[in-house]
């Protein structure tokens, strides 16, 4: 049940992006520091922003210029591959999961980043349970095996106000599969977007980006 609700929450947030004012949304390829900082400024007007993203995006959200790295940052990047804070704003990693035991399709779209100020209008996602849990057990006549079915009614809705911001990395948007074979050399794109055997060369990926409303 927990995994199902986690999946529904991710889907509800994704479907509610167009509730946000245009000033609260940015869609661009990769990590654009200036565009990201603009969204932080908007969210900071309502409280202290916290950044929620997957690990795939977090590894991109680091300073580009070498002179900006402190020894502590270098150590943190070496140990974790990312920074726990971005310009004094806490970064929360949304734990990724898979839809089934094949580990091929992810649960959370890694292209979405949410910036939510603390203490602002409660929680943006509402979860409601109705009634009790119904459990039915059946016995198959052929092999006398037993089948158990569980039913629980639950509703999930995202209510995004003008204090929440969303950054969409079109390079990651819709990339729901862990491995993508290039179909030519047999190499695969690794989890962080590099192609195996290509010494970090960036892959050429076409992503269809849904149009923004408003």
- Can you tell me which residue has the tokens 């929360």? 92
Report pLDDT for 213. Answer: 46
Gap between the Cα atoms of 155 and 163, Å rounded: 24
CA separation, residue 144 to residues 137, 140, 150 (Å): 12, 5, 20
- 118-152, pLDDT tens digit by residue? 865 667 878 888 888 888 888 887 788 888 888 88
Strands 146-158 and 125-139 come out as antiparallel
Gap between the Cα atoms of 38 and 106, Å rounded: 29
Report pLDDT for 187. Answer: 53
Report pLDDT for 186. Answer: 46
Res 200 pLDDT > 50: no
Q: What is the mean pLDDT of residues 160-188?
A: 74
Res 198 pLDDT > 50: no
Mean pLDDT estimate for the chain: 79
- 58-98, pLDDT tens digit by residue? 988 887 775 577 888 888 888 888 888 898 899 999 888 88
Top pLDDT among 187 and 123 is at: 123
Q: What is the mean pLDDT of residues 191-212?
A: 45
Cβ–Cβ under 8 Å, residues 51 and 115: yes
Q: Indicate the fold that domain 2-125+157-189 takes in CATH.
A: capsid protein of prophage fold (3.30.1930)
CA separation, residue 118 to residues 14, 64, 105, 179, 199 (Å): 20, 28, 32, 36, 41
Q: How confident is the model at residue 43 (pLDDT cuts 50, 70, 90)?
A: very high
Q: What is the mean pLDDT of residues 25-41?
A: 93
Domain ranges of the chain: 2-125+157-189
Q: What is the mean pLDDT of residues 39-53?
A: 93
Top pLDDT among 116 and 195 is at: 116
């Amino acid at each position: 049940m927990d995994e199902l609700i986690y999946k529904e929450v991710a889907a509800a947030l994704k479907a509610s992006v167009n509730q946000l004012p245009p000033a609260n949304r940015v869609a661009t390829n990769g990590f654009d520091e200036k565009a990201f900082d603009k969204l932080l400024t908007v969210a900071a007007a309502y409280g202290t922003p916290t950044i929620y993203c997957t690990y795939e995006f977090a590894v991109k959200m680091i300073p580009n210029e070498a002179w900006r790295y402190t020894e502590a940052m270098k150590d943190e990047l070496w140990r974790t591959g990312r920074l726990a804070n971005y310009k004094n704003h806490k970064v929360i990693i949304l734990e990724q999961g898979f839809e089934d035991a094949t580990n091929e399709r992810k649960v959370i779209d890694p292209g979405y980043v949410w910036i939510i100020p603390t203490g602002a209008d409660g929680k943006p996602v509402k979860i409601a349970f109705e009634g009790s849990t119904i459990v039915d057990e059946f016995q198959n006549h052929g092999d006398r095996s037993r089948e158990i079915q569980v039913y629980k009614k639950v509703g999930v809705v995202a209510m995004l106000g003008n204090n929440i911001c969303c950054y969409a990395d079109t390079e990651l948007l819709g990339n729901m599969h862990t491995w993508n074979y290039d179909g030519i050399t047999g190499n695969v794109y690794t989890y962080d977007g590099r192609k195996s055997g290509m010494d970090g060369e960036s892959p050429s990926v076409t992503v269809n980006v849904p149009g923004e409303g408003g």
